[in-house]
Chain A
């Protein structure tokens, strides 16, 4: 085995005596290597999370430096009984995430299957898939504002060709949330495509060949052979995309601005918590919202991963 190593690499280390600090460093390499990064993340996370929990139990508002007093679970009580802003925001978060995920997984699966077997021009299609993924979300929001503009936007002109009347898209109170979900679908379906494609190409060939010999239809092979084998990858895609979709901020803020629009029509939990923190400086209540939000995220992740263990 040793022959593969170029001799000149090893030689100096053998001849020079190892100084004490170097021996110490080698013995403690594990923590020496992992320590700084972990310390950085821990300081930037653990302290803020602890502080958020603390703030959620106080009446902090106005300025982050202002005096605050401990008020127990008062903020949580306020938040959980708030049917005006909080619960609608929960509803929008669930609706946005659910719709975006559903479309992204279904469309992502369809496109991944289209790309599965090699074809001419594959390179171009793959490049096209990458573009929405890397495009800056704020710019994407602005771009769709122009395309979906009720008066000058291309979207309504295109609908006109098919005899469909103009839609309010982002400007409608009822349509805005689903329109932003569709923008999320445009930007992030490619992510699901890439993940599922990676999963598809790593599947074994034999079961498909066996099914082909058995004279199955394409749909039957997908339903009873491909999909079950691909299920773990599908769950990974849902998990990764779900964590980001539930926290969507850029697209919502770029298209509708503060408070999720004049009627809070796209105000999800994340946008609501941001507004409470930085537009209204209601730090105590904002922190309570954030703690609940975090529990919702962890809770849904837990449900998904529990499901995954059952499947495998």
Chain B
């Protein structure tokens, strides 16, 4: 078996048994990145030197008997997470030359556990998009079909994990940006409860919706990485002061009898037939495990996309105001300060970002605030109530992730409304601040399809348990994308000491 085929959990075992060193492993993955990324374009920055240093530090720690959950295992970060001394572009021209001078809290936690940061991955500019086509630099390919998009906005991270360029990666999810690309790339994705992971150092798109999420090969890896990064942070007032369970240990616990909620409104009109069929099959898999299904109705869910596309741009218009060319990032010279601001922003931001800034500015303007922003917030409360109601009887909710399989590059780029529709099953989860887990559940026309389990607030344990049960019963998550010819990655036999 080749090195890159191992999951993070396998790698951890190999590292602990000293069957491999972190430096060897890191070299192998770096090699694979350099061989594959010309075609895939998942990375904006590959932090080769830093990765090797971190790997050496991890080996040293192992040598001294200091072990950790994620130590020595390569990891990729979406390019909106701050790593001290490393560019943090957010996929935007306006931050092309910006180097973060501090570490995000998650990065600090990963560094303290000797994780190995391999690089920063491509993304839709400022996390706005559903295809990674809004990156100012290039478009990432879907490992299952390079002519298709990997999803967005964490498309780079999803593609890197799916192509086995890293065992796992972090992304961010504001309206589905971890779950949708995980689905498109056929991997496991988790958007945790809002407040479970500190947002400090995650460049904000829409503060009340953003949450750092995990892209991995299976639910066990997901639990491992979550354990390393979750928990309260004094630097993020919205991070929750609740004890972090040992997710890894929880997976070994008894499964229990779950009731799965099926939201009627999720299975109407726009859902692709192939996807509908696969999700229904998945529901039967759960039933086969002795769990019961329960039909529930979400009367307000149809307003979720509209309210998301009011709240997110409103917050974004404010969060992105700091990029004006005066302190860092792109500066276009001009006669006056205001025209310098205008020119820098005109040149630095792409079309989608400008579109959302304008929408947000409009809906927050005096005279429109009540009609749009305030109303959207009220809808948000109602959507939350729909979920609360369902959770009285259901352990979690089973839903689609996307209405269609991965679309072709360029297919939706000139039709923003159609693009926005690809978030239809994911945004309500962010509006309600809930956790959502995405699991591969089959293939449609050779392309991966996934299901989504939506859990109660801070009940990641139940979600991951259910997900683990599903992955024990199925093998969709074990399929490799057809990347063609053998790509170097090293094998365990060669590198065994």
> Are A and B bound to each other?
no
Interface residues of B (CB under 8 A from A): none
